[in-house]
Structure 1
Amino acid sequence: MIVRYWQPFQEMNAVKHQLDQLFDDFAGVETAPTTWTPAATLVESEAALTLQVQLPGINVDDIDIQASREVVAISGNRPSLELAEGETLRRNEFRYGAFRRVVSLPVAIDHNAVTADYEAGVLILTLPKAEDVRNKVVKVNIAGTKPAAIAQSDATDAEDNQ
């Protein structure tokens, strides 16, 4: 009688390999364009926010950046992979088609002073904080009331104009 040791992990790996092949055969190239969202990191310093967005393999001309005081929107398109005649795609894990990332900012920025760099597939936006949000204290008056100093100067101005 021959004694064989059962190796369950070896059998499970064989089944996993067969399932991977089965799903690879079913998973063809996506033909319909899809919208995807790139990963982003937002870092805040005293003077600015820095937004980094992963966009590897995307041409700079295919990236559109729009900034307002509270929101930054990055959009664009990565064209689908074109196969040459005789080539067969065996695996494709890249994302193609339109992408869009909208980031709400925790503070207002000076959207006219935003700068952008694109290095090693990472878009880096420097978003300077708006001057009016940097440690500025504002006096808030209740509606319908006039501060005494302003009321007094208004009366003086009226007498001078007569």
Structure 2
Amino acid sequence: MALVRWNPWRELNTLQSQIDRLFDDTLTPAPSWERGLLRVPPAEIKETEEAIHLKLEVPGLDAKDLDVQVTENAVSISGERKSETKTEESGKTHSEFHYGKFQRVIPLPARIQNTNVTAEYKDGILNLTLPKTDQEKNKVVKVNLEQSVA
């Protein structure tokens, strides 16, 4: 039996290649069945004193195909991108589009007035303005500290 010298850099190189492969998978589109993952719309959240602004990217869908539900603590969005069936007599089709149902629940950083939500859907971008409750607006309170005399 031969002795093999242990090289710690080999393990780091293996780890680096696994991390590179992970980022390659997220940057290169692949069918959801190939990854075993479900596609969800990416989101941006911006919080101001008065409201929470939520932006979701849902390209290729009509507003009627989206179901948006808002509670005081979360936003739920669901929909379905239906595949288009085309018949071709010759050649192959390679598609990187994602079809099927999706659902995403986004917890909110503050309580909102879910009865006063406004929405705008344009060019595949859904913008929600979620006004905060009065309790959340007045949440920060300044505390006066007195020096104790000993």
TM-score band, normalised by shorter chain = 0.5 to 0.7
Alignment equivalent of 1:39, drawn from 42, 53, 60: 42
| Structure 2 residue runs without a partner (length 5+) | 1-29, 142-150
Distance of 1:55 and 1:137 partners within structure 2: 35
For residue 111 of structure 1, give the secondary structure of its aligned residue in structure 2.
coil
Identity of aligned residues (%): 41
| Structure 1 residue runs without a partner (length 5+) | 1-26, 139-162
Structure number with larger C-alpha Rg: 1
Tell me how far 1:38 sits from its aligned partner: 0.8
Tell me how far 1:101 sits from its aligned partner: 1.3
More helix by share: 1
Distance of 1:56 and 1:36 partners within structure 2: 13
In the superposition, the TM-score normalised over structure 1's length comes to 0.60
Question: How many residues end up aligned between the 2 structures?
Answer: 109
Label 1:137 to 1:56 Cα distance change in 2 as closer, same or farther (>3 A). closer
1:99 maps to 2:102:
yes
Alignment equivalent of 2:87, drawn from 65, 68, 84: 84
Tell me how far 1:85 sits from its aligned partner: 4.2
Distance of 1:125 and 1:48 partners within structure 2: 10
Label 1:87 to 1:55 Cα distance change in 2 as closer, same or farther (>3 A). farther
Match of 1:66 in 2: 69
Contact 1:109-1:127 within 8 A present in 2 as well? yes
**Alpha-carbon RMSD:** 2.6
